[in-house]
């Protein structure tokens, strides 16, 4: 293998088994997307009455961490599915085909909506958003611009550019170093709270929540976890226990743990669930995440993510309820309506834009070869195909 191949390394798995998909990870994408939707349903003032509004806010108070989940998942899946001999150009072309057509459609729709409502348009911010470089610009109105949630695609694009360059070193890394990455990431996330004091106060939100270099910590955590599992070195709970840990961590973080700690705790909980779901698929254990419904919801989750804020904001502005919310039970009913409408539009976007453009723009995947039996029996086998997220929001407003 040459140095330009994606998985060039003596330790790269040379074989793959027939279990070439991880449907449970696709199902997990929908759960993360739903958390993000719930967070925005609570913060975009759809519900006017304080009672129902507080319930939604309480349940989804940590929903902004959905993108943290997706960044970890993205790193895990891309390493898991990396195949020997796949060139960097092929990898970058597939990633572009996966995220950019949907982004372009929503960018155009959002620009039309801004013209309709006579919103001021910053041409520099609009161009940055179009090119998916907005997350590098800390100026207000730039990193959140046009279709606001696409800031995380800007981060993903950076991850995609880096991974083929770093993956050969990941394949050669000693297990202890990979474990060090998995353990260090939550600690580094925790260190961001005192560390942000080094950044001008006006830029601290951008630095901790948007800056691609900082957000890449979660991606590399997923990368390290996947490599450990591929080699059979991952040690973690099975899916039922990992799911329980996630739920308990979520409840504890939302109720009793200070804000500066919960992101680090959730990173650990998320990587345990992701690895456990992958392991369940590899070994054929029961997993409700790979039901036909959950897999379909996961497949449209990227489009759902890109559409949901645009739909909510546009309709509320058209009805005159933007900023005030809907009174009585109209508010909760509107949340359900937005969920169903967004899901329907996401299905159309997935069916008529995302899938056709993947077929047209993305090169075919190289033939899969099986994972060595001794490694498959311990750490698992298979690729997740295109089960990475389209990215969703940590704070997409």
pLDDT one-digit tens code per residue, 75-132: 999 999 888 777 898 999 999 999 999 999 999 999 999 999 999 999 999 999 999 9
Nearest to 99 by CA among 302, 384, 396, 346: 302
Predicted confidence (pLDDT) at residue 372 exceeds the cutoff of 60: no
Q: In whole numbers, what is the pLDDT of the chain averaged over residues?
A: 86
Helix (H, G, I), strand (E, B) or coil at 355: helix
Q: What is the pLDDT of residue 51?
A: 84
Predicted confidence (pLDDT) at residue 375 exceeds the cutoff of 80: no
- Least confident range of 180-194, 258-272, 369-383: 369-383
Contact residues for 341 (Cβ-Cβ < 8 A; gap 6+): 311
Q: What is the pLDDT of residues 142-179, one digit of tens each?
A: 999 999 999 999 999 999 999 999 999 999 999 999 99
| First vs last C-alpha separation in the chain | 44
Alpha helices in the chain (DSSP H): 23-43, 50-59, 66-81, 88-116, 123-130, 151-172, 175-195, 204-209, 212-231, 239-255, 259-282, 292-299, 301-319, 330-349, 355-361, 373-379
> What is each CA distance from 118 to 114, 122, 142, 315, 318, in whole angstroms?
6, 12, 18, 16, 13
Q: What is the pLDDT of residue 343?
A: 97
Q: What is the pLDDT of residue 11?
A: 38
> What is each CA distance from 312 to 104, 109, 249, 320, 334, in whole angstroms?
19, 13, 29, 12, 9
Nearest to 119 by CA among 153, 147, 100, 143: 147
Q: What is the pLDDT of residue 381?
A: 32
Q: What is the pLDDT of residues 283-323, one digit of tens each?
A: 999 999 999 999 999 999 999 999 999 999 999 999 988 88
Which two structure tokens, joined as six digits, stand for 295? Answer: 């897999």
50-70: average pLDDT: 86
Separation between Cα atoms, residue 166 and residue 263, nearest integer Å: 25
Nearest to 5 by CA among 226, 230, 164, 157: 164
Separation between Cα atoms, residue 271 and residue 394, nearest integer Å: 16
Q: What is the pLDDT of residue 367?
A: 55
Name the pLDDT band for 392 (thresholds 50, 70, 90): very low
Q: What is the pLDDT of residue 52?
A: 85
Separation between Cα atoms, residue 364 and residue 124, nearest integer Å: 36
Model pTM score:
0.87
- Least confident range of 54-63, 186-195, 199-208, 372-381: 372-381
Which two structure tokens, joined as six digits, stand for 62? Answer: 């940590």
Predicted confidence (pLDDT) at residue 248 exceeds the cutoff of 90: yes
Predicted confidence (pLDDT) at residue 59 exceeds the cutoff of 90: no
Query: Side-chain half-sphere of 74: how many Cα atoms within 13 Å?
Result: 31
Which two structure tokens, joined as six digits, stand for 145? Answer: 């611009």
């Amino acid at each position: 293998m040459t140095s330009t191949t994606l998985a060039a390394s003596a330790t790269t798995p040379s074989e793959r088994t027939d279990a070439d998909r991880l449907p449970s990870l696709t199902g997990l994408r929908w759960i993360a997307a739903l958390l993000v939707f719930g967070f925005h349903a609570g913060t975009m003032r759809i519900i006017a009455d304080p009672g129902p509004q507080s319930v939604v806010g309480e349940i989804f108070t940590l929903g902004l961490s959905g993108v943290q989940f997706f960044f970890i998942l993205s790193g895990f899946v891309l390493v898991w599915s990396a195949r020997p001999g796949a060139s960097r150009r092929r990898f970058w072309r597939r990633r572009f085909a996966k995220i950019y057509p949907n982004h372009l459609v929503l960018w155009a729709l959002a620009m039309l909506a801004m013209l309709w409502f006579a919103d001021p348009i910053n041409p520099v911010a609009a161009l940055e958003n179009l090119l998916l470089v907005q997350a590098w610009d800390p100026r207000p109105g730039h990193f959140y611009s046009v279709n606001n949630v696409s800031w995380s695609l800007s981060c993903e694009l950076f991850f995609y550019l880096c991974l083929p360059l770093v993956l050969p070193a990941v394949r050669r890394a000693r297990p202890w170093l990979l474990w060090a990455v998995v353990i260090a990431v939550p600690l580094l996330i925790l260190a961001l709270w005192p560390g942000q004091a080094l950044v001008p106060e006006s830029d601290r939100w951008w630095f901790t929540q948007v800056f691609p270099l900082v957000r890449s910590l979660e991606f590399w955590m997923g990368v390290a976890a996947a490599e450990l599992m591929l080699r059979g070195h991952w040690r973690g709970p099975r899916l039922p226990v990992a799911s329980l840990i996630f739920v308990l961590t979520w409840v504890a973080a939302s109720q009793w743990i200070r804000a500066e700690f919960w992101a680090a705790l959730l990173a650990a909980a998320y990587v345990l669930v992701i690895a456990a779901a992958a392991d369940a698929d590899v070994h054929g254990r029961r997993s409700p995440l790979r039901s036909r419904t959950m897999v379909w919801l996961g497949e449209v989750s990227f489009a759902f993510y890109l559409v949901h804020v645009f739909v909510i904001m546009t309709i509320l502005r058209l009805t005159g309820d933007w900023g005030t919310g809907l009174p009585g039970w109209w508010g909760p009913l509107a949340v359900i309506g937005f969920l169903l409408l967004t899901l329907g539009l996401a299905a159309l976007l997935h069916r008529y834009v995302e899938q056709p453009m993947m077929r047209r723009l993305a090169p075919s995947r190289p033939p899969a070869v099986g994972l060595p039996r001794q490694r498959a029996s311990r750490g698992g086998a298979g690729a997740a195909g295109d089960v990475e997220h389209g990215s969703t929001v940590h704070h997409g407003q």
